[in-house]
Amino acid sequence: MELIVTEKDNAARRIADILSDGTADAERVNGVNVYGWGGKRVIGLSGHVVGVDFPPEYDDWRNVEPHELIDAPVDTQATQEGIVAALRRLAKDANRVIIATDYDREGELIGKEAFDLVRDVNETIPVERARFSSITDREVHNAFDNTGEIDFNLAAAGEARQIVDLVWGAALTRFLSLSAGQLGDDFISVGRVQGPTLKLLVDREREIQAFDSDDYWELYADLTGEEGAFEAQYFYLDDDGTEARRVWDEGAADVAFEALETAETADVEEVSRRTRTDDPPAPFNTTQFIRAASALGYSAQRAMSMAEELYTAGYITYPRTDNTVYPEDLEPEELLDAFTETFFGESVEELLEQEEIEPTEGDEETTDHPPIHPTGEMPTDLDDDEWEVFELVVRRFFATCAPSATWEHLRVVAGIEGEASLPSGGDAGLSLKANGKRLLEEGYHSVYPYSSADETFVPDVSQGDALAVSEQRLEAKETQPPRRYGQSRLIETMESMGVGTKSTRHNTIEKLYDRNYVENDPPRPTQLAHAVVEAAEEFADLIVSEEMTAQLEADMRSIAEGEKGFDEVTEESRELLGRVFEDLRNSREEVGDHLRKSMKADKIIGPCPECGSDLLVRKSRYGSYFVGCDGYPDCEYTLPLPSTGKPLILDDVCEEHGLNEVKMLAGRKTFVHGCPLCKAEEADAEEDRVIGACPDCGETAASETPRDGSVHGSDAPVSQSEAQSASDDGEAADDEGGELAIKQLRSGSRLVGCTRYPDCEYSLPLPRRGEIEVTEEMCEEHDLPHLVVHSGDDEPWELGCPICNYREFQAREAGSELETVEGIGEKTAEKLESAGIENVEGLKDADPDDLAASVDGVGAGTVRDWQAKAD
C-alpha cells in the first residue's frame, strides 16, 4: 500500500481526487478521514500533530523558577493523538510513503514529524517527498512523478525556531506573569518576535504623544477661463529656491490673503505639459498581498486565512512566498486563456490582443515558490469575502501581464499683480498654481481597479490668458503627528527589519490583539504594552531588540542552508536568554509594580458616582465582565456589561457621567455598548411590557416546557440572572401564574422573561437594538403576539412569535430543528428525517408506535418523551 501524507484534511481530499481521477472513497481510521483508491491511501494531518514542550515536572509555575526553563530539556509530545494513531496504523502496512506537506520551513518540519512517526513503526519503508506550489492537476501529477527527499536542514531550521520560541516565550511569560501576579487566563505573554514588534508600536505611539503641532495657513482660489473653472493654490519660493505652499506666519498669511481677496483676475504665466509612464505592479509576494487585501478592509490574519483556503482548493498558488518573479516555465498566454469563458473574459480578451506579453518582475527572486497567482481553476463555491480575495489575486496577475498606463500632467501658473509682502520676504505679486492630470492610455488600470486612476481636471489655457478669480479662501491648518502603523504597513516594516518570517508575521499581530497588547485597527498599544516595553528597556532591552530577533532569524536560515547546526543555534539562543535573566532577576519587584499599575490604568473607565474612586472593568469568577469600584469592599457600586464579547474601553467620554464608553469585541458581532451608567439608567426608566402568559408557570402554561435558563440570542446571549435589576424595577411578582414581559436589562440587552423571576427563569432573547412593536397578530400555537423590530432606515424585522423565533434560531445553530428537542442529537435527527419527520411539528403530530417501528433503536416511550419536551 502506498501512503500519502498531506498537511491538512482538505488538501488530502483534493490531492486524492486529482490522483484518483475522482474515484477515491473516504473511510475513517481512528476517527480520521482517509481517502483511498486502488492500493493508495491519503491521510491529512492537522498541521503539527506533535509539539515541543517541557516535561511535566516543569508545569507548576509557582514551584519552578522561570530561569530554570532556560536549560530545561524539551520533549516532543503528540498533540493530535487520533491522527498520530491513524498515521502509525496505516504506516505499518505501507510499502511506500510520500510526504506531501506544504513546501516551506514549517511544512518541511511537519513532514519531518510525519517521517519520524512512520519510522517509529516501520524502519525500512522508503519515504519520499512531493513538492508543489499549487494543488492543480498538472502540478500535483508532476510532483508525484518527480518525488525527492525530505530537506532535513530546512526541517531543522523549523524545529530550531520551535525550541527557541518555546524557551524564550515560556521563561519570559512566566517571569512577567508571576512578577505582576497575573496567572490563569490573564497571564502576560511575551515572545521573541512579539517583543520587538510591540516596541515598534510603542515607539510610534511615543512619537505621536510627543508630537507638537505647528500652525500654518494655505490659500486657495478658483480660476475661471473660457473652458471652465479650476482650483489653484498660492505658492512662493522659499529661501532655498523651492516652491512652498504652507505659510508659517499668520501675519504674512493675512497680508497675502488680503491681496488675493481683492484680486479680480490672474494672468496665465506658465503652461507646461508632460507625459508620464505608469508601470504595472510587480507580482504578489505575501507582504504585498496582505497590503492589497488590507486596502479592501481585511486584517492580515483574515487575508492569509482565506488565501490558504483558496490555495488548498486549487484556485491560487501557495500564498507564503517572498518571490516576485514568475518562473520561466509559466506561460502567461495559456493561463490567461483559462479565464476566457469566465467572469473575467472581457479583461482577458483585451490582454490577449497584445502582440507580446512580458509579465512584470519584482526585486526579490527565490526558487521555492512562485509569486501568488491564480491557477486557472474557476471557483464555484466561494462566499463574498473569498471571492473578493480571489478576484484580487486574479486581477493582480492580469495587471502584471498588462501594458503600462500613460498620464498627461498639466501645470498652470497664474500671477496676480500687486505689492503684497510675501512670506519669502519679497514684495512682488501673488503666484497661484494648479496641477492637473488625465489618463491618456488606461494600460493596466483597465484590468486592475485597485490602483487609483482618478483624474484632476484643469482645462486648457494659454499663456497670457486672463482668468477670473473667485471663491478666495484662507485655511488654517496644523501639522499632524505620524500615523499609526496599519497591519500591512507593520508587516512591511517587520520584513525590512528582519523580524519574523512571511509565515509568522500576521500571526504575531493576531497574538498582540489576543493578549490585550493592542486594540483598534490600526493597532494602538495599551498601557500594558507600554509597561512591558518600558520594563524591558530598563531592565533587559534584548527582549525588545530587533537586532537580536533578526540575528536569530538569520541563524535559522543558516541552518536551512547547512551553514550552521541545530544544536549550535539553540544553545546560543539559550545563552543569550540566560544573560537577559541575569538583569531581570534582580528587578522582579520593580517590574511587577510597573506592570500592575499599567494594567489597572487600562481598565479605568472613570470616577465612581458614589465614592469618587476609579471604576474599573473587572472579570467575575464565572468569566463575565462588569464594572466595579476600586474602593471595594468599602464601596460596592457595580454596573453590568453585556455577556457577549470582551470589553474595550474607548476614548469617547459620556458628557453626563464622565465615563468612557465601552465597545464589546465579539468578532463580526462586535458592537458599541456606550456608557454603562447610561444603559443602566435607561433600563431603570423602562417599564416591563407584558405580552402573555409564561409557558412554564403561567395560568395557560403547558404541562412542561423545559428550559435550561440560558438564552442565546441573535445579537447577544442573555439570561434572566443577568437581569436581576430588571425584576427589581417594579414590584416583585406574587406566587400566582407568571407572565411574559419585554424587559430592558441594565446591561443593555433585552429579553422576554417571566415576571416571577427568579422563581421562574424562563426567558427568550430579543435583538439588542431597534424599537420593538407589539402587534395584534397572535401565534396560534403559543398565544403570544408577533413582534416587529424597527431600526432606523432598515426594513422592519418581523420577529414573529418570540418562542417560534427562538426555536428557529436554535435549529439554525444546531443544523436541524429536531436537535432543539432535549435527547435528540445529530444522528438521531438524521434517522427521524429519513423516516419523514422533518421538524418539531412533524414530531409532535407523529404516532409514537408507528414512528418507533420506523426508526431503529427508538421505542414508543422515547418518542412520547420527545413529544412532551417539544410542547
- Cβ proximity of 398 and 311 under 8 Å: no
DSSP category for residue 214: -
CA distances to 70, 565, 611 from 578, in Å: 7, 20, 48
**Measured between alpha carbons, how far is 744 from 685 in angstroms, rounded to an integer?**
9
- Cβ proximity of 104 and 60 under 8 Å: no
**Measured between alpha carbons, how far is 623 from 260 in angstroms, rounded to an integer?**
65
Q: Identity (one letter) of the amino acid at 89?
A: R
- Cβ proximity of 840 and 829 under 8 Å: no
Residue environment code for 812-846, b if the CB has 16+ CB neighbours within 10 A, otherwise e? eebebbbbbbeebeeebbebbeebebebbebbeeb
**Measured between alpha carbons, how far is 683 from 677 in angstroms, rounded to an integer?**
10
Report the candidate in 729, 774, 683, 290 with the shortest Cα–Cα distance to residue 495.
290
The Cα diameter of the chain in Å comes to: 106
Give the strand pairing for 763-765 and 750-754: antiparallel
**Measured between alpha carbons, how far is 127 from 130 in angstroms, rounded to an integer?**
10
> Residues 827, 830, 835, 840: is their CA dihedral positive or negative?
positive
Is 234 tagged catalytic?
no
Cell of 280: 504595472
Burial of 311 (0-12, 13-18, 19+ CB in 10 A): buried
- Cβ proximity of 340 and 300 under 8 Å: no
Q: How many helices (H) and strands (E) does the chain have?
A: 25, 31
Q: Identity (one letter) of the amino acid at 804?
A: C
Quick one: CA torsion of 798, 804, 806, 807, rounded to 10 degrees?
Answer: -140
Q: What is the number of other CB atoms lying within 10 angstroms of the CB of residue 213?
A: 10
Backbone angles phi, psi at 697, to 5 degrees: -130, 0
Instruction: Single out the catalytic residue among 236, 298, 311, 318.
Output: 318
Tally of residues, the chain:
871
CA distances to 197, 530, 596, 606 from 601, in Å: 22, 11, 9, 10
Give the residues across from 234 on adjacent strands.
432
Cell of 517: 497588547
- Cβ proximity of 639 and 627 under 8 Å: yes
**Measured between alpha carbons, how far is 511 from 513 in angstroms, rounded to an integer?**
5
Give the residues across from 51 on adjacent strands.
77
**Measured between alpha carbons, how far is 135 from 142 in angstroms, rounded to an integer?**
11
- Cβ proximity of 577 and 571 under 8 Å: no
Helix (H) or strand (E) holding 478: strand 466-478
Cell of 416: 496676480
Q: What is the number of other CB atoms lying within 10 angstroms of the CB of residue 649?
A: 19
Q: Identity (one letter) of the amino acid at 400?
A: T
Identify the residue whose cell numbers are 483574515: 302
* Residue 22, phi-psi category: left (phi > 0), alpha (psi -120 to 50), beta (remainder): left
Alpha carbon of residue 395 to chain centroid:
23
**Measured between alpha carbons, how far is 458 from 271 in angstroms, rounded to an integer?**
11
In sequence order, which residues have a C-beta less than 8 Å from that of residue 870 and are 6 or more positions away? Answer: 821, 840, 843, 844
Residues involved in catalysis: 318
